Amino acid sequence: MKLQIRNTVDNNIINIKKSIADNLRNTELFQSESEDTATSNVTLKPPVPFSDCKYVFDNSSYVAKCCRIKAQDIILNTLTLVNESDAKYDTVVQKIQSNLVENITELYFMLIDYYYAGLGVIEYAYGTHKFTLKQIPVNTTSIIRVTYQNQDYYLLQQKIQTHTNYFKIMGEEYPPTFSQYNGQPLGECALMGGDNFYNFFATPLWVQEKDKIFTEIAISNKNYNTISNGNIATGILNINLEPQPFKPVVYDELGNETQTKSREEIIAEELTGTENGIAVVFTESNRPISFDFTNIENNNYEYLESLQEKAEQSVLNCYNIPLARLMINTEKESMNSNKTQSIWEIYTLDLKTEQSKIKGYIKELIFELYSIEVSVEIEVPLFSDRKEIEINNLINEWNAGLLTLKQTIEGLSEYTSVIDLKQYDFTINPALWEYRKLENYWELSADELIELEKVEGEIDALK
C-alpha cells in the first residue's frame, strides 16, 4: 500500500521514515557534539559536514564563483616578506619569499576550500630554506582526537580510497616520540580555520543563506523529481543521509530478487506519489539524519527565476563581492554619483581584512619552518573601475591646485603604465616639480614652462 504524503513537512518526514528506519535506529552511534571539543578517540564534527559543503560547491555556480574570486583576490597578487629578525637573515628571507611564490597556487587552492567548507589544509615538507606546499582537499579529511601515552592529541586524517594518511597539525604540541599512528608515519600540515565557536573549523559563509541556495540548486540544475503542476516543484526537501556504498537488495516471499533501489530512489518515489510536486535534494554525511524544507509559494517559471536571482544575490552578499566583480554590470549611475567608487573601496577594505588571516597563516608557517620572524605584505588587486576613479581624482586634484606636479606624476604612475617614473628626473628644475596649477606662470623659466606644457599634455591625455 502506497502511503500518501500530506502538505506538511512533519507528515512528509513521518511517512518516509519507513525507508530509512535502520538509519534512524542507529543515530545514537553517531558523534553529535555541537563543537569541535569532543572526547578522546572520536572524529570532531565540523559545523557543516564537508560532504554537504562539497555538494553546495559543486552545484551552486555562485558559491563556487565567490570562493574562487575571494581566494584569487586575496592571495594571487604581489607578495613580499620583510625580515623582522636579525639582519643576517635578509638573504634567507628573500629565498623563502621566492619559494613561497612558487607554491602560491597551492595556497590559492587551500583558500578555496576554506571559503566553501570553513577549513583549508596544506601539507608541508622542508629542507634548508627550500620547502614544498601541497593542498590537501578538505573533503577527504577529518580531525580526530587520539590518545598517546595517556594524553590526548589532535591529528588530521585523510582518506583516499582504501588508504589513510595522518598528519600532525601546526600549532599543536606533540611529544618527540610521537612519529606514527596506526602504523602510518605522521606527516605535517597547517590548517586555516577556527572562529569564535570552533577551535579548528569555521562556519562557511554561505550557511546563512542555505535555504535559498538549495532552492537555486534545484531550479538551475533541475536536480529534483516532480510529477505535477507542469513539472514545477511546490517545495524543496533536502534529505541528509548516512553514506550508503551499495544499493539494498529486496527479496519476495519465494526468495526472488524484486528490486535493487537505493534509499534515494525509494524516498523520491514516496514523495512524488502525491498531488503536490516536491523537489528532492540528497546529501550524505556520518551524522544523524536531518531534513530541510523550502516552500515554493508559486508555480510559474517567472516566480522561480526571481527566486533564483534572489538566491544568487544572497550568495554575493554572504561573501561581500560586488556583482561587477563577476563581470556583470546592470547598475545605472548618474554622472555625479560616487556609488561605484564606494563599492570598490568597501570591497578593497574587506579584502584587506580577509588578508590578515592568510598573512598570519604564512607568518606562523615560516616561523615553524625556519624560526625566522617575518611580516607579510600582499597587495590587493586594482580593478579597472577603481583605476579610472583614482586617475580622475588625481587629475581633478591637480587641476584644483591641491597637488604639486611631482605628487601628481607619482600618484598617476601607480594606476597607469602611460606614466613611467623613469622618464622623469625630479632633481633637475626642482621649482617645476613643486609647481601647483593656478599659481603664477612667470615664476617658472622658459625651459620649465615648455616642460610643464609637455607634462600637462600627458596628464590631459589620460582623461
In this prediction, residue 102 has a pLDDT band, given cuts at 50, 70 and 90, of very high
On whether both 153 and 47 belong to a single domain, the answer is yes
Do 47 and 18 have their domain in common? no
Q: Give domain status of residue 345, yes or no.
A: no
276 in the same domain as 227: yes
Give, as one character, the DSSP assignment of residue 324: G
Domain boundary among 255, 280, 308: 308
pLDDT of residue 330: 56
Q: Which residue has the higher pLDDT, 365 or 239?
A: 365
In a domain, 141, yes or no: yes
Same domain? For 169 and 97 the reply is yes
Each residue's pLDDT tens digit, 122-169: 999 887 668 899 999 999 999 999 989 889 999 999 998 888 999 999
In a domain, 335, yes or no: no
87 and 19 in a single domain? The answer is no
Residue 47 in domain? yes
**Contact predicate 81/375, CB 8 Å:** yes
Q: Are 178 and 16 in contact (CB under 8 A)?
A: no
Query: How would DSSP label each residue in 311-330?
Result: HHHHHHHHHT--GGGGT---
Q: Which of 384, 369, 372, 375 is nearest to 356 (CA)?
A: 375
Do residues 120 and 191 make contact, with C-beta atoms less than 8 angstroms apart?
yes
Say which residue the cell 600627458 belongs to.
Answer: 458
For the ranges 124-133, 189-198, 285-294, 441-450, the maximum mean pLDDT occurs at: 189-198
Angle, to 10 degrees, between the axis of helix 61-75 and the axis of helix 210-221? 120
pLDDT at 282: 60
Cα–Cα distances (Å) from 290 to 24, 140, 296, 413, in that order, read: 10, 22, 20, 57
Distance CA 71, CA 54 (A): 16
Q: Which residues pair with 393 in a beta bridge?
A: none
pLDDT of 329:
58
Evaluate whether 299 touches 305 at the Cβ level (below 8 Å).
Answer: no
Q: Does residue 326 lie within any of the structural domains?
A: no
With the C-alpha atoms ordered 273, 279, 284, 285, is the resulting torsion angle positive or negative? Answer: negative
In the block, cell 524484486 appears at: 258
pLDDT in tens, 316-338: 888 988 887 876 655 554 444 45
pLDDT given for residue 271 in this prediction: 54
Same-domain status, 171 and 43: yes
pLDDT at residue number 138: 95
Last-in-domain residue among 165, 183, 203? 203
State the total domains in the chain: 3
Look-up of cell digits 567548507: 117
pLDDT at 3 over 70: no
pLDDT for 268 equals 60
Residue 154 Rama label (left phi>0; alpha psi -120 to 50; beta) = beta
d(CA 31, CA 394) in angstroms, rounded, equals 59
**189 & 88 share domain:** yes
Are 202 and 194 a contacting pair, CB within 8 Å? yes
Rounded alpha-carbon distances, angstroms, from residue 168 to 146, 276, 298, 363, 365? 11, 52, 52, 18, 13
Instruction: Examine residue 390 and state whether it is found in any structural domain, yes or no.
Output: yes
Domain that holds residue 250: 9-23+208-308
pTM score: 0.65
List the grid coordinates of 127.
Answer: 629542507
Average pLDDT over residues 55-80: 92
State the first-to-last Cα distance of the chain, in angstroms, to the nearest integer: 77
Whether residues 13 and 43 fall in one domain? no
> What's the mean per-residue pLDDT of the chain?
76
Q: If pLDDT is split at 50, 70 and 90, which confidence band does 2 have?
A: very low
Round to whole Å and give the CA distance between 64 and 276.
32
Residue 182 lies in a domain: yes
Q: Is residue 18 part of a domain?
A: yes
Q: Same domain, yes or no, for 176 and 279? A: no
Residue 192: pLDDT above 90? yes
The C-alpha atoms of residue 452 and residue 237 are separated, in whole angstroms, by: 70
Burial label for 340, CB within 10 Å (0-12, 13-18, 19+), is middle
Query: Do 164 and 291 sit in the same domain of this protein?
Result: no
pLDDT at residue number 79: 93
Asked if 36 and 119 touch (Cβ cutoff 8 Å), the reply is: no
- Do 269 and 392 lie in one domain? The reply is no
Asked if residue 213 and residue 185 are part of one domain, the reply reads no
Greatest extent of the chain over all pairs of C-alpha atoms, in Å: 111
Lowest mean pLDDT among 26-40, 76-90, 361-375: 26-40
Domain boundary among 275, 308, 341: 308
